[in-house]
């Protein structure tokens, strides 16, 4: 398959499968988008609606407008924005809730930094797509909340009560640890601020991005292990021997993208250090986790988790192609992106009518669980973003 054929194949899938599927989840009665489609493709119209899910759907349709030049997708973004503005925002304490009941009443009032970041990300994209100043104002309200209430002198913290008192971080802690700081939250604050800076050019956002780059390089990147650590205590002491292959390859290209947005306001020394870091972690993922067709999930205490997760494959497609773009002599990365896409089509895309992508399969390509097709974390963010990125990158 040529690169042009790869691009067209991905574009066709986006328009034939992903976009129509998510259009169909629009809740015309209660607002927003339905929150649960189970493995048996039964839609629960009264399921909880995650605010992260709504933010990601808003981001997805907004990017369809700007990146595909498809104005027909704007009403779907408008619908998600209206729900966010009316229900996801806490009008008394500020910030965005964790989740809502189907009718917009509050289900889980937790204020998580990760959740605030995705709302910033979505609102920034929607501002670009719609031109609505209100979206920009709301994005900066959340930016000020993150900087004023969701961090300390060392960096970003995680979970808070409804009125922003710190609480235990079960929501973004896994593998038997409770983390005070996580690489995942840092990465997505970085991603959100990258988008906010790209569409507004506000210096205060660039300043925070540069602080995060320093944190990634000095506190999160393990130079000897050629990876990013995942879960930390308050002082950035790693809590577990965990290599998250998916997050590392995602971080490699997202940080590169941030550096491109910051290119005119970043010094040469920082550019050199960050370029070395992203090349190093991407190379290590390619070496350790790529089996020639798919990407293993993670490695804990020296043992690989053999699950093939939908979003991990997406991030590897972008991440590998990003490495090829930096050095066209490294054709193995481009070949890896092509092979991963073929794997996704064969094993991750759900062939059943009315479905989208499976959440995960085992090493033999068999669905390993009956995880839902749609739930608060299963959304068009990773696969939609992969499509947008690859369409743009191959075209360029």
| Strand partners for 228 | 221
Give the per-residue pLDDT at 174: 82
Q: 374 phi and psi, to 5 degrees?
A: -130, 130
pLDDT surpasses 90 at 107: yes
pLDDT surpasses 70 at 38: yes
**What does the pLDDT look like over 253-299, one tens digit per residue?**
999 999 999 999 999 999 999 999 999 999 999 999 999 999 999 99
Residue 168: which domain range? 3-395
Tokens of 95: 């910030």
User: Token match 């995705």: residue?
Assistant: 118
Q: Are 159 and 171 in contact (CB under 8 A)?
A: yes
Give the per-residue pLDDT at 175: 84
335 pLDDT tier (thresholds 50, 70, 90): very high
Give the per-residue pLDDT at 395: 78
Distance CA 55, CA 373 (A): 18
Give the per-residue pLDDT at 292: 97
Distance CA 346, CA 350 (A): 9
> Could you tell me the CA-to-CA distances from 207 to 41, 64, 216 in Å, in that order?
45, 29, 15
Give the per-residue pLDDT at 396: 61
User: Token match 């008192």: residue?
Assistant: 165
DSSP sequence for 200-235: H--HHHHHHHHHHHHHIIIIIEETTTTEE--EE-TT
Give the per-residue pLDDT at 1: 83
Distance CA 337, CA 223 (A): 26
- What's the whole-number average pLDDT of the chain? 97
> Could you tell me the CA-to-CA distances from 44 to 31, 79, 101, 229, 373 in Å, in that order?
14, 19, 12, 37, 12
> Could you tell me the CA-to-CA distances from 201 to 67, 110, 215 in Å, in that order?
19, 30, 22
**What does the pLDDT look like over 125-134, one tens digit per residue?**
999 999 999 9
The average pLDDT across 25-44 equals 98
Percent of the residues in the chain that have a pLDDT greater than 70, as a whole number? 100
Q: Is 352 left (phi over 0), alpha (psi -120 to 50) or beta?
A: beta
Residue 78 CB-half CA count within 13 A? 9
Q: What is the dihedral of CA 44, 45, 49, 54, to 10 degrees?
A: 110
Distance CA 101, CA 298 (A): 33
pLDDT surpasses 80 at 344: yes
Q: What pTM was estimated for this model as a whole?
A: 0.97
58 pLDDT tier (thresholds 50, 70, 90): very high
The average pLDDT across 210-226 equals 98
Distance CA 391, CA 313 (A): 16
The average pLDDT across 290-319 equals 97
- How many domains would you assign to the chain? 1
Give the per-residue pLDDT at 78: 98
pLDDT surpasses 80 at 10: yes
pLDDT surpasses 80 at 24: yes
DSSP sequence for 52-88: HHHHHHHHHHHHHHHHS--GGGHHHHHHHHHHIIIII
Identify the CATH number of the domain in which residue 8 sits. 1.50.10.10
Distance CA 115, CA 131 (A): 23
pLDDT surpasses 90 at 196: yes
User: Token match 């398959």: residue?
Assistant: 1
pLDDT surpasses 90 at 368: no
Give the per-residue pLDDT at 275: 98
Return the number of other C-beta atoms located less than 10 Å from residue 301's C-beta.
9
Q: Residue 226: which of 247, 257, 248 has the closest Cα? A: 248
The average pLDDT across 170-175 equals 88
Q: Are 170 and 160 in contact (CB under 8 A)?
A: no
Give the per-residue pLDDT at 358: 98
pLDDT surpasses 90 at 161: yes
């Amino acid at each position: 398959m040529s690169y042009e054929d790869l691009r067209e194949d991905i574009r066709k899938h986006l328009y034939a499968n992903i976009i129509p599927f998510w259009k169909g989840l629009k809740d015309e009665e209660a607002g927003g988008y339905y929150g649960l489609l189970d493995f048996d493709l039964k839609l629960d119209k009264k399921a909880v609606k995650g605010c992260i899910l709504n933010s990601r759907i808003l981001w997805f349709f907004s990017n369809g407008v700007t990146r595909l030049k498809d104005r027909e997708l704007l009403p779907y973004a408008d619908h998600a924005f209206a729900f966010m503005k009316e229900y996801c925002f806490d009008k008394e304490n500020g910030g965005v809730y964790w989740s809502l009941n189907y009718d917009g009443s509050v289900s889980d009032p937790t204020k998580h930094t990760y959740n605030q970041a995705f709302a910033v990300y979505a609102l920034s994209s929607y501002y670009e797509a719609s031109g609505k100043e209100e979206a920009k104002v709301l994005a900066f309200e959340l930016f000020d909340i993150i900087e004023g209430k969701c961090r300390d002198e060392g960096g970003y913290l995680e979970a808070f009560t409804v009125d922003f008192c710190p609480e235990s971080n079960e929501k973004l802690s896994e593998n038997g640890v409770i983390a005070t700081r996580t690489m995942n939250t840092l990465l997505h604050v970085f991603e959100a601020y990258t988008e906010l800076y790209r569409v507004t050019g506000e210096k205060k956002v660039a300043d925070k991005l540069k602080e995060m780059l320093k944190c990634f390089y000095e506190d999160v990147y393990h130079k000897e292990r050629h990876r990013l650590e995942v879960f930390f205590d308050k002082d950035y002491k790693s809590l577990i021997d965990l290599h998250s292959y998916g997050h590392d390859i995602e971080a490699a290209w997202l940080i590169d993208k941030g550096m491109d947005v910051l290119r005119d306001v970043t010094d040469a020394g920082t550019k050199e250090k960050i370029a070395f870091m992203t090349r190093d972690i991407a190379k290590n993922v390619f070496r350790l986790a790529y089996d020639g067709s798919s990407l293993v999930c993670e490695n804990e205490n020296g043992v690989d988790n053999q699950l093939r997760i939908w979003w991990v494959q997406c991030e590897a497609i972008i991440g590998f192609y990003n490495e090829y773009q930096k050095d066209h002599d490294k054709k193995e990365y481009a070949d890896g992106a092509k092979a991963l896409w073929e794997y996704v089509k064969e094993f991750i895309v759900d062939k059943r009518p009315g479905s989208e992508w499976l959440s995960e399969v085992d090493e033999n390509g068999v669905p390993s669980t009956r995880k839902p097709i749609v739930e608060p974390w299963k959304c068009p963010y990773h696969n939609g973003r992969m499509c947008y990125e690859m369409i743009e990158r191959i075209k360029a």
